[in-house]
Structures are given as C-alpha cells and as structure tokens.
Chains A and B, each alone.
Chain A
Amino acid sequence: MQRHEVVVVGAGLAGQRAALAAVQAGRDVAIVSKLHPLRSHSGAAQGGINAAVGKEDSVETHIYDTVKGSDYLGDQDAIEFFCTEAGPTVVEMEHFGTIFSRAPDGSLARRAFGGAGFPRTIYAADRTGLALLQGLWERLGTEEFTLYEEWDLTKIVVRDGRVRGIVAFDRKRGDFEGIAAPSVVIATGPFGRVYGRTTNAHSCTGDGVAAAYDAGALLKDLEFVQFHPTALLESGILITEGARGEGGILKNAAGERFMSRYAPHVLELASRDVVSRAIVTEVAEGRGFPGPYGPYVHLELMHLGKEKIESRLQEIVDYSRIFAGIDPITQPIPVYPGQHYMMGGVGTNSRGETNLPGLFAAGEAACVSIHGANRLGGNSLLETLVFGKQAGLAAAAHATGAPRAEVAAADVDAAQAPLRAWAARKDGEDPSALRTELQQTMERYVGIYRNEADLLEGLKRVRAVKARFENVRIVDQSKVYNINLTDALEVGHLIELAEVIVVGAYARTESRGAHARTDYPKRDDAHWMKHTMARKTPEGPNLSYTPVTYTRWEPKERVY
C-alpha cells in the first residue's frame, strides 16, 4: 500500500492546479493519472480563457454574461467568485511560463467568443489548452510530488463516512494497489464518450465521476450536455469557436447565412446551445448538405484570407486538411454539432468539497455550478484553474492533522474482484460492442432535442446495455498494458453515467440551456430553477433537488 496526504486523480489542468496548491500548502501529494499529464485532454482545448482585463470590459459584465449563458441555473455566488479570480489566474499562468498570443503593445491578446459582451478571451493561437498545460506542468515540475503515471482509478475507499484513499491499477505492471490518503481530489475530466459523435478524446470516460458516484457522492445536473456547433464531420474533431470569433460564418445548402434567423444580433456568436440547435433545425428542415457521414452545414473561413487563417487558426488548417481532406483557405469546412462538454459532474461548492468528507472534485469532472445549463466558450479552461486551486487548498486543509488513512487488503481485493471475474469468463459481452451500442443510443435518444418518448426508449436501451455489462468479458489474459481490461472498466463507467444523464433529462420537464425538450419547449422557473442531484442505488439513480443560489441577477428571457 502507498500512503500520501492528498491524492489527486487526473492530471489535466484541474488536477495539476489542485496538486500545485496542495504541495504549496506543505502536503505530501500524489497524482494518479491514466495518461502522462501532458497527454491530458485539457491540451485539446483550442479557443481561449476568459478574463475581463480589457479597459472597456469589466468583471461585472463577465459575471452577467456567465449567469445569462447558464440560463440562470448557475449559482451566482460561485460565478461572482469565479469571474473575480479570472484576471489573477491568467496572470499567474503567464508568470508560470505560458506563452500567450500578444497584442502589438505587448499585452495579452483577446478575441471575441460566443455569448460574451466584449472580446475577453485570452488565447495562445488556437492551442490555448496545450499552452496552459505546458506552462502548468513546467511549473509543477519544480515541486516535489509523486506521479503514478498510467494508473487507472478503480475505487474510492470510504469507511465510516470518510474517504480513506483509492484503489488503482498500474497498466504497465498490471497490479492493483491501495493508495491511502485522507483527501482525494477527483479531476478526471468529462465523460463525452457516452456519445458517438464527440469532440472528446477516447480517454474521456468519467472514471473519477463514476467512482465518486459509486462511493456515495452526489452527481449534479448531468442532463445538461453541451453540443459544440462545429465538430468536424465524420471524426467529430473540434473546430474551435475561435474560428467564428475570428469572423467565420455558417451557411446551409441554400447558401444562406442562416444564423440571422436564430440570433439576428450576434449571429454565429450566439451561445453554443443556440447555434447547435440552429444547425440541427436547418438540417431537419432539409437545408443541410447530404453526405455519407450524415448531413452537415458549412463553416466558411475563406473570406478571412490566407494570412489571418494561417496565423490565428493554424491547428484548424491542419485538422481540416488531415481529417476532412479540405483546405479551409479555399474551401468551406463540413461541420455538425457534436457532444463537447458536460456541465454536470460531481456536485461541489466553491471550495471543491463534495457531500463526502475527504472527497473533492474540480474541473469538468465537477459541477459547482458556474456553467448552469450551458457553458460559455472560454469559461472551462478558467474553471479548471480557479476551482482546481480551491479544491487543492481544501484537500490540503482537510488532510492537515487528519488521522493516518489506511486502505485495507480487503478493499483492494474487493476492487479487483469484478475485473478478475471478467477475465475468467469463457464467454461474454465484448466491451467495445457495448460501448458502441451505448453511444448510438445516447446519440439517437438523448441528443440535442429531447422528448418523453425518446428518453423513455433511451432509458430502456441504456438499462439493457447495463444488464449486458454484467456479463462483460476480457479476452486479453496478459498482465502487461492490458487495455482490453481498462476498456471494460471505462465502458462500465460510461454506462453508469449515461443512466444518470437520461434519468435526469426525463425528469426535467422544461427546456433550459442545453437541455431542449420539444414537449416542454419553455423554461419553467417556477418548478425547475433547481439543481438535479443523483445518488446511486441498486435500482439506479435516485434524484433529489437543491435550489439555485441567487445574488443579484433576476432571471430574464435569454435572447442573443
């Protein structure tokens, strides 16, 4: 058994920032990650990080835009804290060594993003996540901590209502081991792979969120799933909102700039949920382009000119050429909305604390909630850093003077028993096939537009996949780097979380932000201005609700 004071699971921006805060607070910190930290999905974030540092802009406006963007489901006290921390957070990352794009006067360059009153998105070309990930990892590298690289989380150990540590699986050795700690921070990112068409990496399987749910933590607002308007056709690879921020426009098969019908004032820079629904509506009404990988619309950059495209959207040029075989300097990019971001996650407060003493969460794995029903572009990178730090501080404080944690051999045995059973089967379900079935179900029945009949059918099908998972089988019998085993582990996590998404979406009989019910098209503040909280039971998720925290902003109709 290993022992530390703070164990951070996940090594993207949120996990690294939590680890840095806990190390600086003097704690013995371990990071457990199934990927090398520099391979984390944070690095795929393209567009930028919001901070109201411009003279014409204000923290107040950033708060208002975020509240409005959240469709009034964001907790306003948390949003105020979040936006207030934005400037210092970006400056800190610059001091850590992040290489940002610059304005001619040497200040941090800013670009326009959807749903924002001013150009407040600070960026590093179109690879802001990578720039931040490099800067933070380089800074963290000067501190003392233990890295469990390519270890998978299998269980959070809780005894007598307190967290005692985790059980994890070392891919290279193939061994399970207990890692004891009084404080565990979940920063494992999203679980976009519950959907087929997603901008998320293959590794985004919600391992920490599923483990927290299994350990008794409450999951919050999982029905709010953001679909990014411009995922590349076929592969689902992200084409940054920065492409529209730089002046890119959307056109349907009739050559119309159709956003004028849906958001006449801000057009393509309306909030993501609005633009995604507009594209789906255009296609549904027969104005999409047909193709072997499904219908699509065009994102045009050509009018921006070669120089601007190549200097500000360098990765996008490469992605379009390599993954769609088109040159965005001379051709439109074929796009369709794809799952992009999970507003929901492990429920926390602004300090990253969950309902379980000793368990903390941050980043996309968590739900504070600042994004409410819809996240604004540029707010997620900021969230990882602001709340990663808070979770690290709270975890460090909780661990200070805490009794020594133990993970018993029995806990390790219990965690690995099901996996041993999967490998021992002579016959059973293939994890890849179950994942495909799950993804198709979610795509078809729990997508951008939802209704009662679809959600019921979706739930039935997700539960059928869940039942089949009971009989999952691992063919690979090797101990060394057995990704057949980690595949099964991940699919199990996805199934649990998909069920929570569907149950929450079915129960919420209103439309708000990214949750669009065709049978309940209006926002219903009288009944639904509240957060969904899901607790795991043997029968499936048990839902309860908690109120949204208000400070100064009364709900208004959301128009762009």
Chain B
Amino acid sequence: MASEMVTAAFDVYRFDPARDPAPRYQRYSLDLAPHTPVLSALLKIRAEIDPTLSLRYSCRSAICGSCAMQVNSKSRLACETPIGPEIARHGRIVVEPMRNQPVVRDLVVDQEPFWRHYEQVEPHLILDPRHPMPEGVANPMTPEEVERFKETPRCIACAACFSACPAVEADPGFPGPMALAKLYRFVVDPRDQARQDRLVRIQPGGLWTCLRCHLCTEACPKDVRPSERIRDLKEMAIAAQGATEAGSRHAVGFKENIRERGVLIEAKLVRQTSGVGGMLGQLGQGVRIYRRKPEILKTPHAIEGADEVEKIYEALDRPNEDSG
C-alpha cells in the first residue's frame, strides 16, 4: 500500500460572501501519496497551510454524506476520491462547491433546496388507520420484497446527484434525483398505504422533467442509481394513472408512434404529446421548423423489416416483474 509521493496542485474555490467581492481560486501544492483521498488532502491543507479554508466533513468513510463537492467538475465525495487518478487525468485537482445550491462559504453550500425537495415527497410511511400495523411484532416482509427497494436504502443524502442534475438547474421546481429515489423507496414499501396517491401527486412537474441523462447515477457514490428508479416510477405512474401528463403522453406517444412504421413520425408526435390545443400553441415554432426542414410534415415510409420492430414491442408489452 505504500506508494511514491506525488506533488499535487489543488485549485480550491474560495468565497466568503461577507468579505469577498467575488469568488477566487487559491492554489495549494503539497506532496502526497496517490491513494490519498481529496478530503485528507484538504484537511492537511487546513492543518499545515491554511486554517481558513472552510468545508463540511465528518465520517471520512463515505457514510455521512457531508463532503460532497465538485472534484475536477464531477460531483464526488471528497473522502473517497483518491488524488492519483485525478492528477493523472487532469494534471491538477480543481475543488469547487456543489452546484444547484447557493454557496455559504468556500466549499460549503446551503442545502436548503435539497432538503426542501426531500420533504416534498413525504419521506415517511403513510398509514391507513383502517389497516393498523401488527401489534407487538414486526410486519412480515420477504427477502424478495426487500429486493424491490433496489439500492435506495443505501442513499446517504450527500446531494452529489442533486448537484450533478441538469434538470434541477433548468427547473428549480424539479425534485431532483435523491428525492425521487426516496419516493421510489416508499412507493415499493409493502408497509406504505399511499402508493397510488404518491404516484399521482408526483406527476405534475415532478417526474417527467427528468432528462434521462443518467448523470445522477454516475455521480452517486453509493450506487443508488436514481435515474433507473425514476424510470421505474414513470412506468408505475403510467400503469397507475395512464398517460395524463405531457411527459407521460410523450413517452407513450413515442412508443406507439414508432410502432406504426418502425420510424418516428415527427409531426404526429407533437399532437400525441401536447394534444390538438397544445399543437396550436406551438404553431409558431412549428412554422419555423417547417421552413428549415419541410420534410417534417411528410409521413415517412415504413422501414424495411417493420414486422421485426413489432416483435420488440410484443416483448416490451409482456409484464415487467422488475418494476411491478
């Protein structure tokens, strides 16, 4: 485990809103073993070079979720990100606060938006008084039922996913990956008695803003895979309520649209997603697109082997045990 020391250059974001007119980057250089976690390096900087550097940290073992920050533009837990690969790839280590949350100071962000969205999905068991829990004994739950939580119980609420999410950046009303993974955890909980309500309530402005970019899943240090759970929630929401939102109509429409000829009929998709009224609303935009790309209004020919496409659909329509 011993390794040669490397000289590591850190460019650390510094900002004290009470005293600094604007953020700046401060360079610290120190000799470290390549397996040194970024957090250990930052604490060494604090202890030996600059005690004014402020950050949030506690367990140093990737379980408290305190030290999420941007390391070379990726949302990571500083405590489990070794410096060696960062230096090898980028030549230096740029450390910045998480995104999508206002900076309090240096690497410390105000997590209020993150926690507000978490609260919004009602993160607790909702019970029906007509079905009380068994008195004095645990609810039975099979290992298979536990499996259905997937990896969501591992979430440490570090907000790395929230920081990485472009949908959160574009729409501050979007709950974000962690809150939706938490929602999934309650939706699949056999003890919870508000499954249907949860799926209905989350839909307007909640679920369908997800861009399916999977950056949350990439950022998650505990392999919770929020984007996959959001996908599951979407499927469950359509199963529970039908396609009632622009987002779900777009998804269902997309599927049916391609089924027809094995290729996307673009003009038709707008109506499938937005309805006739919505189409009228987007008329101006439609005309602009038509000017650039007149073929948009032509219905494309069916692709060769369209019957093979149909087989894919038949396979898709078979009940999916995974997302119940």
Query: Which A residues contact B (CB, under 8 angstroms)?
Result: 35-36, 38-41, 43-44, 88, 90-91, 94-97, 99-108, 124-125, 127, 130-131, 134, 138-139, 141-142, 172, 201-203, 233-235, 237-238, 291-293, 314-315, 318-319, 322-325, 334, 430-433, 436, 474-476, 478-484, 487
Contact = CB atoms under 8 A, between A and B. Distances in A.
A193 B115 CA distance: 29
Interface of B: 1-2, 16-19, 35, 37, 46-48, 51-52, 54-55, 57-66, 80, 82, 104-106, 108, 110-111, 115, 119, 123-125, 133, 136-143, 145-146, 149, 153-154, 156-157, 185, 189, 191
A134 B153 contact: yes
Contact of A476 (B17, B52, B133): B52
A125 B143 CA distance: 12
A90 B64 contact: no
Contact of B60 (A102, A201, A293, A475): A201
Given A95-B133, A172-B110, 17 more contacts: A36-B157, A38-B65, A43-B156, A94-B138, A102-B145, A105-B140, A138-B125, A141-B124, A201-B60, A202-B59, A233-B1, A292-B1, A322-B62, A475-B51, A476-B51, A478-B52, A481-B105
Contact of A291 (B2, B54, B119, B139): B2
A201 B17 contact: no
A323 B37 CA distance: 8
B125 A97 contact: yes
Given A99-B149, A201-B58, A322-B80, A130 B63 contact: yes
A433 B191 CA distance: 51
Nearest to A234: B1
Given A138-B125, A475-B52, A237 B80 contact: no
B58 A202 contact: yes
B1 A142 contact: no
A41 B59 contact: yes
Given A41-B64, A130-B156, A478 B19 contact: yes
A56 B59 CA distance: 37
Contacts of A139: 124-125
Contacts of B64: 35, 39-41, 43-44, 201
Contacts of B137: 91
A478 B124 CA distance: 38
Contacts of A36: 111, 115, 157
Contacts of A474: 51
Contacts of B35: 325
A461 B324 CA distance: 63
Contacts of B65: 38-39
A430 B60 CA distance: 22
A132 B211 CA distance: 33
Contact of B51 (A293, A323, A487): A487
Contacts of B110: 172
B16 A478 contact: yes
B156 A482 contact: no
Contacts of B185: 99
A143 to B, nearest CB: 10
A291 B1 contact: yes
Nearest to A101: B146
Contacts of B149: 99
Contact of A107 (B52, B55, B138): B138
Contacts of A479: 18
A551 to B, nearest CB: 26
19 contacts: A39-B58, A39-B65, A43-B63, A95-B133, A96-B125, A97-B191, A107-B140, A130-B154, A131-B153, A141-B119, A201-B64, A237-B60, A314-B154, A323-B80, A324-B1, A325-B35, A430-B47, A432-B47, A478-B16
A79 to B, nearest CB: 22
A550 B55 CA distance: 48
B136 A478 contact: no
Given A138-B123, A324-B1, A334-B1, A102 B80 contact: no
Nearest to A477: B52
A557 to B, nearest CB: 37
Nearest to B154: A127
Nearest to B115: A36
A292 B4 CA distance: 12
A490 to B, nearest CB: 12
B105 A325 contact: no
B267 to A, nearest CB: 47
Given A91-B136, A142-B124, A432-B51, A102 B61 contact: no
Nearest to A476: B52
Contact of A478 (B2, B18, B46, B57): B18
A1 to B, nearest CB: 24
Contacts of A106: 140-142
A431 B51 CA distance: 9
Contact of B61 (A107, A108, A235, A476): A235
B63 A95 contact: no
Given A134-B153, A478-B18, A478-B105, A202 B123 contact: no
B265 to A, nearest CB: 45
Which 8 pairs, one residue from A and one from B, show the smallest C-beta to C-beta distance?
A: A106-B140, A432-B47, A292-B2, A201-B59, A476-B52, A138-B124, A94-B138, A97-B125
A512 B1 CA distance: 36
A431 B185 CA distance: 43
B52 A108 contact: no
Contacts of A334: 1
